[in-house]
Structure 1
Amino acid sequence: MTLSSTSTLQVVFLDRSTIPPSTRLKELPFKHELKLYESTTPSEVVERIRDADVVITNKVKLPGDVLASAKNLKLIAIAATGSDNVDLKACRDKGIAVCNIRNYAVNTVPEHTFALIFALRRSLVAYRSAVQVGRWQESGQFCFFDYPISDLAGSTLGVIGDGALGKATAAIGKSLGMNVLFSAFKGRSDMGALYTPFEQVLEQSDIITLHCPLVAETRDLISDAEFALMKRRPLLINTARGGLVNEAALVRALKSDKISGAGFDVVTEEPLPSSNPLNEILNHPAFILTPHVAWASKEALQTLADQLMDNIAAYVQGSPRNIVSAA
């Protein structure tokens, strides 16, 4: 199914507030009416997409039963890389194309990953908090050693996910003198010499960082059994997707010293609900949780917004790109 660039097309952005107001949206180069909604609740989706030709979503979910009501819909433009909020099978069945954003965060996510690694490896948050409550004065000398500090040089970084973000993170690690292991897919032993078996990465790494998508095969990729394999008590970093790590298992692992710390930018349900077990460790000196902002440097945001509108324009002009699922 295609769109005609001669008629006025209805374009609906369901969650414009997920991109800051300072990030400019390009003008689309065809006749259109653009409806911007700051946010959209599940109960509002059906009505808002009913007459749309193009729907833009960042995190609003579009399941099959909701898509059934959108009789004119030809394109869903995701304002992100992950597509787990869209029912891709239903889109294929209904002839709805889906496009996403690619390679826009190759600087911001790796940099945020290492911000978490540096902070945890050198116990920056713990020391800052100690200074705030007077521990420095209490120590009676020029420094104190309440929390561990370790170099990155010479340590082993295990990277799970070998896409653009995983490779960029690995490159930073190598530049810091780290030994980098790329993990093979869990349960696979036939991926060649460039990959280290998943279980071996868990056993040998001082820091493990996740850069893989959330699909059925990667949900709860790391849980109690995997934490038990982490012989070196590594840091665990997740700037990828909530759901890759079983959060109750993470709490148990941190409390029982199976890992030395964790830095997360994502959780299974966002914003963090009061029922999430991670609330138990929010004040732990070796745990840092940031509110899904690893992707959100101002440079990356503008690149994302430009690519988003370019994706829509390309589809309407008959040259689809960044297609995840198409008719």
Structure 2
Amino acid sequence: MRNYKVLILEASSDDAALDFYRELEEIAELTFHSNEGGYTEDDLVELVAPYDAVMITSQHAITGRVILNAPKLKIVAKRGAKPSNVDLKTATERGVMVTWTPGVNFRTVAEHAVMLMMCLAKQTFQQMERLRSGAWRSATGGLIELQGKTVGVIGLGGIGQEVCKLCKCFEVELLAYDPYVPEEKAAEVGAQLASLEELLRRSDFVTLHAALTPETHHLIGERELSLMKKTAYLVNTARGGLVDEQALVKALEQGEIAGAGLDVFEQEPPSPENPLLHLPNVVATPHMAGWTEEALYREQKALRRGNGGRNDLRVQMRAMRPGVPRGRDPLSVQLL
């Protein structure tokens, strides 16, 4: 008997997802909704209102207003990294459980960060445009190797550590800035801890892997960009809000840094008029670093099986009963 209504935003179509949806349909009525242009808060207020559970990605901001206007909502299940796009305070106050799937996209995001470094180092897309226009390789060169360069990793969590592991094969010097990581942890992945200022001054590539918090908002701004080498590149596959985009545009236009590789933006999707999409020294992708078939499969598998079955979304929904008191703890559950 299907007692619950579940809204699934940006559904996957891999085998693990389809198996999960079939099993969930045993107890819930599923509704699938997708919008490549993104959802406004008003959209989500209207969409989520009648549902008991909603499954989201990083594209969907489940604000306090969305939660407060969804009286039946019991679960917000996020695929991927920490649910920074969910108002956890309001969720806690309303007794809404929030789950996520940590670790499933560490390697794929790390690979994407290294790919952006390589595209910048080899000017891949500029060379493609030359070739398409009928030109051949440029006599001025300008391409570089990673070997012997210094890579600065800001944020040494799971993804940052994977980046370090991947970069070691290029024989680079690894610097890391993370005030919450001890030296021995950094040493395990071949990195040397440094202050933010030292890392920015010394690095040829600076790659961001920090969580977006009030403390890290605009962590990289005009001052920080001015500390970087003019030949250095900035890579961001974490969250757009870590970087002051206006300051970045200025630094790129004035040659204060050599280029940037971006998978995330302060506003997503970004406006087509965003200067970062039109600068020749920027490589940009549409927040897809964690969107490989393998990572999506692991996400669905995590949601399907949960932590030994205890955190399985099906188990959570069966456990929900009318009259559950509001304001209970804890409501952020990791699915492993």
- How many residues align structurally? 305
Q: Separation in 1 of the partners of 2:67 and 2:121?
A: 46
The CA distance in 2 between the partners of 1:232 and 1:280, in whole Å, is 20
Deviation at 1:317, TM superposition (A): 6.2
Which residue of the partner structure matches residue 315 of structure 1? Answer: 316
Q: How many Å apart are 1:275 and its aligned residue?
A: 4.7
1:296 equivalent among 291, 297, 303 = 291
Q: Which residue of 1 aligns with 2:332?
A: 324
Contact kept, 8 Å, 1:123 with 1:147, in 2: the verdict is: no
User: 2:49–2:66: 8 Å Cα contact kept in structure 1?
Assistant: no
The equivalent of 1:205 in structure 2 is 203
* Aligned residues of 1:247 and 1:277 also touching (Cα < 8 A): no
Tell me the distance in 1 between the aligned counterparts of 2:300 and 2:265.
24
Residues 44 and 267 of structure 1, relative CA distance in 2, 3 Å threshold: closer
Deviation at 1:115, TM superposition (A): 1.4
Does 2:247 align with 1:249? yes
- How many Å separate the matches in 1 of 2:46 and 2:134? 56
Contact 2:96–2:331 (CA under 8 A) maintained in structure 1: no
Matching residue of 2:263: 265
Quote how far apart the aligned CAs of 1:20 are: 5.2
Distance in 1 (alpha carbons) for counterparts of 2:291 and 2:65: 31
Shift of 1:323: 5.9
- Aligned-partner Cα distance in 2 for 1:203–1:314: 50
1:36-67 CA distance string (max 9 Å, x none) = 22245533433433342222122222221221
Q: Which amino acid aligns with 1:24?
A: A
Letter in 2 for 1:242: G
Q: Alpha-carbon deviation of 1:262?
A: 0.8
Instruction: Give the equivalent residue in structure 2 for 1:3.
Output: none
**CA distance in 2 between partners of 1:88 and 1:80 (Å):** 16
TM-superposed deviation, 1:116: 1.2
Map 1:5-84; keep pairs closer than 5 Å: 8-13=3-8, 15-16=9-10, 19=12, 24-25=17-18, 26=20, 27-28=22-23, 31-39=27-35, 41-58=40-57, 59-84=59-84
Distance 2:66 2:291 in 1: 29
Q: Describe the shift of the 1:317–1:181 C-alpha distance in structure 2 as closer, same or farther (beyond 3 A).
A: farther
Identity %: 30
Offset, 1:71? 2.2
CA distance in 1: counterparts of 2:113 and 2:271, whole angstroms: 23
Where does the alignment leave 5 or more consecutive residues of structure 2 unmatched?
187-192, 306-311, 320-329
Secondary structure of the residue aligned to 2:51 is coil
Residue type at the aligned position of 2:218? D
Amino acid at match of 2:206: I
CA contact (8 A) 2:91 2:331 kept: no
Partner amino acid, structure 2, of 1:118: M
Letter paired with 1:72: K
State the alpha-carbon separation in 2 of the partners of residues 161 and 314 from structure 1. Answer: 34
Whole-angstrom distance in 2 between the partners of 1:131 and 1:275:
26
Cα gap change, 1:43 to 1:236, in 2 (>3 Å): same
User: Could you say if the C-alpha distance between residues 306 and 135 of structure 1 is closer, same or farther in structure 2, counting changes exceeding 3 Å?
Assistant: same
Q: 1:128 to 1:279 in 2, by over 3 A?
A: closer
Which residue in the other structure is 1:106 paired with? Answer: 106
Residue 233 of structure 1 corresponds to 231
Aligned-partner SS, 2:55: strand
Q: CA RMSD in A?
A: 2.7
Distance 1:51 1:103, change over 3 A: same
Output the CA distance in 2 between the equivalents of 1:160 and 1:317. 41
Which one-letter code corresponds to 1:120 in the other structure?
A: L
Is this contact kept in 1: 2:204–2:229, CA < 8 A? no
Asked if 2 retains the 8 angstrom alpha-carbon contact of 1:203 and 1:232, the reply is no
Superposed displacement of residue 85, structure 1:
1.9
- Which residue of structure 1 aligns with residue 135 of structure 2? 135
Within the candidate set 170, 176, 179, 2:170 is matched to 176
Structure 1: segments with no counterpart, 5+ residues: 1-5, 137-142
Aligned equivalents of 2:304, 2:133: Cα separation in 1: 49
Query: For residues 315 and 64 of structure 1, what CA distance do their matches in structure 2 show?
Result: 22
Distance of 1:238 and 1:145 partners within structure 2: 30
- What SS does structure 2 have at the residue aligned with 1:158? strand
Distance 1:24 1:184, change over 3 A: closer
1:220-255 residue CA offsets vs partner (Å, 9 max, x unmatched): 110110011113631111111111111111111112
- C-alpha change, 1:224 and 1:133, in structure 2 (3 Å) is same
CA offset at residue 171 of structure 1? 0.5
Q: Give me the whole-angstrom Cα distance separating, in 2, the residues matched to 1:249 and 1:113.
A: 21
Take 1:179 and 1:43, find their aligned partners in 2: how far apart are those partners? 47
The SS at the match of 2:289 is coil
User: Is contact 2:81–2:101 with CA below 8 Å preserved after alignment?
Assistant: yes
* 2:149 matches 1:155: yes
Contact preservation (8 Å) 1:248, 1:278: no
> For 2:260, what is the secondary structure of its paired residue?
strand
